[in-house]
Amino acid sequence: MAGGLADLDTGFPARKGSQEQQISAVYDYLVMLLENLRYILRNLSPENFNEKETLDWIGDKIQANHIVSNTIITNELYAEYGAIADLTVDELRTDYQKAARYFAGNTSALDFLYIHDEQIDFLTGTVHVEDDTPLTEQLHHRGRYFWWTDGTKTEMTSLEETPWPVTVYQYDELLKGTLRFEDYAPPGGGAVTKVPVLVLGAGYGNVLDPAKGKGFLRKGTDSFDVWLHNNAGEDRGLFIGEQYTDVVGLRKTTELDFSGWDNGSFTEEIDGGIAAAYEVDFDAQDRPVKITDGAGHETDVIWE
C-alpha cells in the first residue's frame, strides 16, 4: 500500500505553501487513497475475503490506540489499555482488574458484572487456593489468550504471542443475581410478553430446581410481584395487580391459649412455632375491653 490507514485519518493535505505545492500534496493524497481502496476491495470485500489481512488491518488500528465508530472488532478489548470512541459488543465483563489485582497481590473477592444474551449477571469471584497457595493462570477468554506487548506490562494484546503472558489469579465464580427477560402471561389473560425479571441470591444449588432459595422481582404489564422460591418449590411473596393484592405464604394462627385468661393474658402461636403474648383489661362486668400486644399496641374492644 502507498500508506497506512492511520495516514488517511491524519494525512489530509493542509492548505499551505504555493498553489503548485498544494496541488502536488492533494495528488499524493489521492494516490494513497486509491491504493487503500484497492487494498480494501481486494482483501476485505465479501467476494474475496482475506481473514489474515482483516486481522492485520484490525491489529493496525488497535496498535494505533484508536478504534473508530462502526468498526467490527473480533478481539477482546480492555478499556484500561486503550481508547474506545464507540463500541457495540455481543458480551461484556467488568472483571478487567484481574491483572492489576495480581500485580498488587490482592486475593480478596472480586465482584463484577457479565452482560450477555440479553441478561446481566452479578458474580463474585474468589481466588482458588490449594495447599494455602493461590493458583494462577494466563488471562484468556473463549480460547483467546492475552500477552503484554512489552516488558513494561502496560498494554496487552491477543493478536500475537510475546515473551510476557498476562498472569492472573484463578477465580471460582459464584452467580449471585441476574437481570434478564422472561415470558410473562397476565393473570387475567392476554398476550404473552417479555418483561425484565430480577433474580437475587445464589440459591441452594438444587440441580432439579435451580430457582430454589432465590428471590424474584418482576414488573408485569399490569402487575408487580416480589417472591421467594422456597426449598419446597413454592412461591411465597407479594403479588400486586390492578384490582388485588395477594400475600402468599402469610403466617397464620395455629394455636390460641386462653389458660391465663383469668389473670388477664393469653398467647397466640403462628406458623413456625412463634408465640406472642397479649395482656387483657376487663371492665366491671369482667368483659375484655382492651388487648395489648408485646410491642405495646392497644386494641379496644367495644361492647355497646
The pLDDT tens digits of the residues spanning 93-139 come to 888 889 999 999 999 999 999 999 899 999 999 999 999 999 999 99
Give residue 67's Cα distance to chain centre: 25
Mean pLDDT over each residue of the chain, to the nearest integer: 83
Asked which of 81, 102, 128 is the last residue of a domain, the reply is 81
**What pLDDT does 112 receive?**
94
Asked which of 248, 273, 288 is the last residue of a domain, the reply is 248
Tell me: do 241 and 290 sit in the same domain.
no
Q: Measured between alpha carbons, how far is 101 from 268 in angstroms, rounded to an integer? A: 55
Q: Measured between alpha carbons, how far is 46 from 237 in angstroms, rounded to an integer? A: 55
Least confident range of 32-36, 149-153, 177-181, 237-241: 32-36
Tell me: do 20 and 72 sit in the same domain.
yes
Q: Tell whether 164 is covered by a domain.
A: no
Give residue 179's Cα distance to chain centre: 7
Q: Measured between alpha carbons, how far is 260 from 1 in angstroms, rounded to an integer? A: 99
Tell me: do 72 and 9 sit in the same domain.
yes
**Which helix (H) or strand (E) covers residue 291, if one does?**
strand 288-292
Q: Tell whether 109 is covered by a domain.
A: no
**Domain ranges, residue 52:** 5-81
Number of domains in the chain: 3
The pLDDT tens digits of the residues spanning 225-238 come to 999 999 999 999 99
Q: Measured between alpha carbons, how far is 272 from 274 in angstroms, rounded to an integer? A: 6
Asked whether the whole model's pTM tops 0.75, one would answer no
Q: Tell whether 174 is covered by a domain.
A: no
Cell output for 271: 406458623
Tell me: do 17 and 75 sit in the same domain.
yes
Q: For residue 269, count CB atoms less than 10 angstroms from its CB and return exposed for 0-12, middle for 13-18, buried for 19 or more.
A: middle
Tell me: do 273 and 221 sit in the same domain.
no
